[in-house]
Amino acid sequence: MFGFIAHSILARMKMTGAEKMARDVLRDARLEADVIHKEAKLKAQDEVINAQKVFQQESRQQREELRALEERLNRRETNLERKVTMLDKKEEKIENELAKIKDQQDQLIRQKAELDHLMDEERKKIQEVAELSREDARALIMQRMEEEMQSEAGVLVRHMQDAARETAERKAREIITMAIERYAADQANEITTCTVHLPNDEMKGRIIGREGRNIRTLESETGVDILIDDTPEVVVISGFDPLRREVARIALERLISDGRIQPARIEEVVQKVKEELDEAIRHAGEEAIYELGLQSVDPELVRTVGRLKFRHSFAQNVLQHSMEMAHLMGMMASELDLDPTIAKRVGLFHDIGKALDHQIEGNHAIIGADLLRKHGEAPVVINAVAAHHGEVVPESLYATLASAADAITASRPGARSETTEIYLKRLVKLEEIATGFRGVEKSFAIQAGREIRVIIEPSKIDDNEAMQMARNIAKQIEADLQYPGQIKVTVIRETRCIEYAK
């Protein structure tokens, strides 16, 4: 019994050990199966990834091949289109050439027909000549010679016209030079002030008067400024209107000579001097008309011409300038077989508008032409006066002569001078304006201040900036300077490349 129990226990223990071993084996098998499953899964994933890489690589290669193929096709298509275009152009060119050849053939056919026609006519003429009498043959020959001479005469006329154009300028210079040599006039430059000498310095106090009453009355009646300074025995009269300045000078001299200087006496003397100057103006106009030998001049025009004696333009007396111009135009008109009387009237009246330009707005040439038209002057004179500065279109040679004579009188030495100090200041100011811009190396004022040349550094300023700089300098000159005419601005940008061969 004990043995059976022991055997049972031993058997149970073996079964328990077997079951445990079986469970261990099963667990190991499961673990090994999991490992194998995971390895198989990872391997499958690697194979899938590799397959995807291969597929992508193959796809990329195929796309590149397709792209290259597409580019080749596009190039071929472009080449084909270019060749088709070239073929079309060649075809068009060939068609044009064929058309030209056809036109030439048609022209040759027409010329041949004309030649045949001319030969037939010549043949007929020869037959007619053979049957002509001596007089008829002579007439036919003379007719042909006349036709040939007319053709040669046309060629000769062209040559003569060319020769005339070549000598016209020389002849014009000779006429102008002769006129200048025959007429010589002094140029007297007036200024905007004049002086009145006093017998003693005590007279200054009398001119000023109590609390300045005398000098204020004199200035208000004459419209000028009376300057009394420390200069001994001298009083300065300042004013831009020469007529007012002359009235003030004469009135002050008479007051000093009379000794009675008071407001009432000043008004009386000034009024009397104005009346006398009105008479002097009329007398000056009459003298100018008489000296030039002109007839039938309206009295109002005579007075207006006399007023030019007290007008100045560019420091030039307008009446003296007009007289000189009238003489020059008369002499040049005589050389050109024109009417010297009309030329003198144009010369004398060309600046008559300057006597009224401070009263009427507008250009003095147009003002003068309107005044002449109002007083019945001839249309040729009116047009020449209006056109001597190019305001209207000239209708006769008198207008051209007026422009030339005006330029001659204005360019005579001393006619339109400016002081050396003002001239030098303008040159210095021109160079200062130019050198004030960035990149300017040097500047030179040349042509008597009519041109400024600016040299710039090429490393700092390019071509586009140089063009803009020229415009900016011109605008700055317009804003900062006052000058007659125009000033040319030249900006120079130079790049030099130097190398030495050794």
Looking up residue 406, the CATH number of its domain turns out to be 1.10.3210.10
The string of pLDDT tens digits covering residues 43-77 is 888 888 888 888 888 888 888 888 888 888 888 88
How far out from the chain centre does Cα 438 lie? 25
End position of a domain, from candidates 72, 97, 123: 123
Is 89 exposed, middle or buried (CB count within 10 Å of its CB: 0-12, 13-18, 19+)? Answer: exposed
Residue 352 to residue 301: CA distance in whole angstroms: 9
What's the pLDDT at 185? 46
Residues 305 and 352: beta-carbon distance below 8 Å? yes
Residues 326 and 347: beta-carbon distance below 8 Å? yes
What's the pLDDT at 6? 72
Q: Which two tokens stand for residue 166?
A: 């070549």
End position of a domain, from candidates 250, 279, 308: 279
Residue 224 to residue 238: CA distance in whole angstroms: 6
Q: Which two tokens stand for residue 95?
A: 């068609």
Which residues of the chain have a pLDDT value below 70? Answer: 1-4, 123, 126-134, 137, 146-193, 313-315, 357-361, 410-423, 448, 483-485
The string of pLDDT tens digits covering residues 251-274 is 888 888 877 888 888 888 888 888
- For residues 262 and 275, membership in a common domain is answered with yes
For residue 429, give the CATH number of its domain.
Answer: 3.30.300.30
Inside any domain, residue 110: yes
Q: Which two tokens stand for residue 81?
A: 């289109």
- For residues 198 and 302, membership in a common domain is answered with no
Predicted TM-score of the model (pTM): 0.46
What's the pLDDT at 165? 61
| Three-class secondary structure of residue 499 per DSSP | coil
Inside any domain, residue 215: yes
Which residue range forms the structural domain that includes residue 68?
39-123
Q: Which two tokens stand for residue 221?
A: 């009646």
Inside any domain, residue 161: no
Amino acid making up residue 252 = L
Inside any domain, residue 272: yes
Residue with tokens 């275009």: 85
Give which of 381, 387, 191 is closest to 294, Cα–Cα.
381
Is 288 exposed, middle or buried (CB count within 10 Å of its CB: 0-12, 13-18, 19+)? Answer: buried
Residue 455 to residue 466: CA distance in whole angstroms: 10
For residue 242, give the CATH number of its domain.
Answer: 3.30.1370.10
- For residues 476 and 429, membership in a common domain is answered with yes
Inside any domain, residue 20: no
Inside any domain, residue 216: yes
For 258-271, b where at least 16 C-beta lie within 10 A, e where not — what string? eeebeeebbeebbe
Q: Which two tokens stand for residue 349?
A: 């009246």
The tally of domains found in the chain comes to 4
- For residues 199 and 262, membership in a common domain is answered with yes
The string of pLDDT tens digits covering residues 82-141 is 888 888 888 888 888 888 888 888 888 888 888 888 877 776 776 665 565 667 767 777
What's the pLDDT at 417? 46
What's the pLDDT at 171? 62
**Entry field: residues in the chain:** 502
Handedness of CA 78, 80, 82, 84 (dihedral sign): negative
